[in-house]
Every structure is written in structure tokens, then in C-alpha cells.
Chain A
């Protein structure tokens, strides 16, 4: 199984920040932004945070803040997120089945973010998977300042 690079024309639906300072960076970013962004669902681990796009109340189009140094993601199939500009190098009709098999084999839950480790040739056989559990609004998450939590 390979991942490969493609034109980055997919619709951004989430952002992933990684690194030991990821939580602090996301918290600082949200603190400076409109409170309207605080309703966006986030999932996080020790050294990563995922922010998922969602529409504002009463609107249809999802919104997403800018976050320096983050990886933009797109939804491949329900629950699966890949970096914009990458894809699993298999035929379309086989993709969902292969991802389901991956889920079974490695025993993790969705939503899951797959970050391929790309070689210089724009292809990769290995990937890091971030399991997001149940994303909650930023304002309800541990990332929000205690006084801002809903």
C-alpha cells in the first residue's frame, strides 16, 4: 500500500498541529481569534491537536481558522482524513474497503488522521495515524482557558 502526492486541490476540512508546543500554539491561536471559532470541534493528544471545520450556526459553509505551521487535511471518506495533496494510491472503488481493513487490523477508532511519510519521490509506504476519539468544541476542551470553558 502506497500514498502518493497529487495536486493540492481538495477541500480543506481540518487542520493538524503537531509538536510538543502544538497544544500551546492552538490555545494561543484561538485566544486571539473570533469567539465564533471556539465552537469548532477539536481532538488532541499529548503533542498534537486537530481542528475540524464546521458551519457557523444558521449557515451552511464550514469555517476554519488559519493556524501557522499546521497541516491542512481533507476528508477522504467518512471518518478518514488525509493531508491535502496526498492520496492512497489505489483505485477509487477499492479505497473504502482498504481503509476498513486498515481499521480492523490496527484496532483503532474513527475519526482518524493519516499522515503519510513521503519519500523524495512523492510516494510513501508508511504513515502516522492520529486517532481523534470524540472531538469536542474547543470551548469545552482542555485547550481552552478555564475561564473560557463552556
Chain B
């Protein structure tokens, strides 16, 4: 589904990620693990077309999308749940979801909004409330519902558990598992390594922009990768 070949990306002159290669298949979860500043978020933003890809190629369903603008990548079926949620605080829940479906027709948009409400019923109850006034957990649900508006086939999820109560984190992971079950490919960036390994099929450990370990989550557990490499 997604194939990265020697991806190097960064901002201006700076390279943040160097020569990164990996594959994600449908229904698979790949987790990025690594310390702050390792380049995890930049990789996701680069996949979304928001950070410059300097070298290498990104193939999505065998199509080279390396130089495609964000707008086209969404249409291809890639969507992002950004770090820190980054919902639009001055827009209502409903309006946030409408912007999430900006590339869709209005009818399709309304249909997908009601699907989003099925995943997260609380959003329906508060649909006219300003997103900025929601709790952290509700904002995270909104960020996920917004990313699902475009019926993505590949979901990029950045730090979903950051600053949230464990109960809410579990709820968000339940939704991710359901989506995985529906055949979505998911790339997960997570500080909570336990959750990341539990959820993932494959793990990539990043440090200072380089992939220092790659393998299946079973291997990661067997080799005690986290203890050895990161602590």
C-alpha cells in the first residue's frame, strides 16, 4: 500500500530524517518509536505533503506521490490525526468536520459526519459547541473524526495519547483497532511505547533522523528493543 524508498526530508537546509525506507500493507499498523526530535512527526508531515521531501520516493498503491500536493494525497486516501490534535478552536465541532471533508461533495460530507458521530457519540451531542471549549479527550476524538471524514485507506496518527486520561486513550485505541479491522493501514507515532508495540505489526525505531531498528512487534518484544535502544 505505502512504500518509502530512502526518504530524506526536512525544513530549509536542515535534514530531519535521512534515508528512511519501509512498507505498510492494508490492515497493518506500523509504529514509530523514538525520543523527541527523532523525526517521527516530520516523517508523517512529509507523507502528508506538509514537509519537503528532499530525496527518495513515496509510493502509494504503486503510484509515485512524492511531489503530489496535500490536496491530492487526501483524495488518494491518506489522512492525518496531527500531534497536539490541532483542531480549529474557533470553529464548532460540525464545522471542523466539514473542513475535514473539504475535498468531498456536501452530501458525502454530511453522510461521513454522521458516521463520525457513530464512532464518537459525544461529538453529536455537542456538535454546535466551539471545538476550543472541548476537553482534551473530546478534542482528540474530534481530531480523529475529522481525519476519518475523507474515508482514508491510510491513517497517519501522531501522539494520540499525549496528555489524555488512560480511559480516553483506550477508547481512541479501540477505534483504531476497529479501523485496522476494516483494512486501513495505520502509521502510529507514539511516546507510549507499550501501547505502540501492543497495537503495531511492525516497529521502526528512529533516533536523530535515522532508523536504528526495524522489525515486527514480536521481534521487538523478544529482543527487548526498547530497553536496549532507548533507555
On whether the two chains bind one another, the answer is no
Residue ranges of A at the interface with B (Cβ–Cβ < 8 Å)? none
Residue ranges of B at the interface with A (Cβ–Cβ < 8 Å)? none
